[in-house]
Structure 1
Amino acid sequence: MSQEPCMLRKPWDVAFTAEPVEVAALRRIMRLHLGTWGLHDLTDPAQLCVSELVSNVITHVGHGTPATLAVSMNGNHLRIEVHDPDTRALPTLIDAGSDAEVGRGMALVDTVADRWGVQLHPDRKVTWCELATGLTSPNGHVGTAGVTRAEALLGLYAATRLPSKPMSSRLSAAMAQEAVIDVVTDFLHWLRAHGCDADEALDRAQTRFEAQIEESRAYRVEPCGK
């Protein structure tokens, strides 16, 4: 029976004024939300898309324009939208060279996003893009080898700790986190019982985890002209 934690990724939005100073703040907000959603590997492309979509409003609609950044899940894709009130200034894809000063914004979005487009409404336009997440479902997880092994271990552990209680098909994120803490605690007891240094084991595990994270980042391909 699957014990995959269910990560509820609720849509969110934030209003902002189209000014250059807002770009860095919106990038930070995006990074924080992706962290809580477990989508760390999308941080760089998502921040790039936010920068270019917001800069497009600043450049082509005007400084001080009231706008909104909205982020949600569309199936297993991350959807990023920027809403602004000008239905005339439509973003276009320009085949701009790497040395061009303008016209590169949507070309960069087109490079990193799976798809993008513009929706027109009576009172606003919505420029959007979507990034593939690698999720098995909108509320699922990124299925790396390490995560898959951990899921299997948590399933066995939960069955032995609570054999008399029926297990749901999915663990909530909070329940899964508590189970992980229990597993780690029991392993520390095991190490201590066998005369091993638990602190050293924790340090080595943290070092290996950080090295694997850096290795995965090294495989990312930077968009041309960034």
Structure 2
Amino acid sequence: MSRNSSTIWLPRSRRSPAIARQRLSVLLSSTPNGDRFLDSGLVVTTEFVTNAVLHGTPIGHLIYFALDVDPTRLRIEVHDARGDRLPALSSPGLDGETGRGLHLVDSLTKRWGCCPRRPVGKIVWGEVAA
């Protein structure tokens, strides 16, 4: 079974989601049939990294971004330093401008979740099925 992975440390920056998307695109382009994960993977990557930048990483801390892909699934992980801010599905209302991203993640992934990272922080992860 062919398997590819990639990791990178990202700064707390507005540029980080784009850097993560580029990393995902490069990984999937070098993976046989990796293109079948691309669209959903880009959305999930953007949501997880954006949330880490906006809500999960205090100034001065880095975000750890990890990808693992095999023929059956793409796993996306984002590690940040805020263990007290856990992601949750919300009801933003009709006029709300935020709060819909995790609903997209929920619809595009086979499963996703969050777990503590020791000694501090959390890991938000999702798996996109082929």
* Same fold, judged at TM 0.5 (above): yes
For the aligned residues, what is the CA RMSD? 2.0
1:79 to 1:98, Cα distance in 2 relative to 1, 3 A:
farther
Match in the other structure for 1:66? 62
Match in the other structure for 2:112? 116
Q: Once the 2 structures are TM-superposed, how far is the Cα of residue 13 of structure 1 from its aligned partner?
A: 0.8
AA of the residue aligned to 1:107: H
Match in the other structure for 1:17? 11
Q: Once the 2 structures are TM-superposed, how far is the Cα of residue 99 of structure 1 from its aligned partner?
A: 4.6
Distance of 2:10 and 2:114 partners within structure 1: 19
1:24 to 1:115, Cα distance in 2 relative to 1, 3 A:
same
Distance of 1:98 and 1:112 partners within structure 2: 21
Match in the other structure for 2:44? 49
Taking the TM superposition and a 5 Å limit, the aligned residue runs for 1:181-192 are none
Give aligned pairs, total: 127
Q: More helix per residue: 1 or 2?
A: 1
1:74 to 1:90, Cα distance in 2 relative to 1, 3 A:
farther
Give the TM-score normalised by the residue count of structure 1. 0.51
Match in the other structure for 1:132? 129
Match in the other structure for 2:92? 96
1:75 to 1:43, Cα distance in 2 relative to 1, 3 A:
closer
Taking the TM superposition and a 5 Å limit, the aligned residue runs for 1:153-192 are none
Taking the TM superposition and a 5 Å limit, the aligned residue runs for 1:142-153 are none
Structure 1 gap segments, 5+ residues each? 1-5, 134-226
Distance of 1:97 and 1:78 partners within structure 2: 31
AA of the residue aligned to 1:35: S
SS of equivalent to 1:11: strand
Q: More strand per residue: 1 or 2?
A: 2
SS of equivalent to 1:94: coil
Q: Could you say which structure has the greater relative contact order, defined with CA pairs below 8 angstroms and 6 or more residues apart?
A: 2
Q: Say whether residues 1:36 and 2:30 are aligned partners.
A: yes
Q: Once the 2 structures are TM-superposed, how far is the Cα of residue 63 of structure 1 from its aligned partner?
A: 6.2
1:99 to 1:113, Cα distance in 2 relative to 1, 3 A:
farther
4+ runs of 1 displaced by more than 6 Å? Answer: none
Give the TM-score normalised by the residue count of structure 2. 0.86
Q: Once the 2 structures are TM-superposed, how far is the Cα of residue 16 of structure 1 from its aligned partner?
A: 0.5
1:98 to 1:78, Cα distance in 2 relative to 1, 3 A:
farther
AA of the residue aligned to 1:54: V
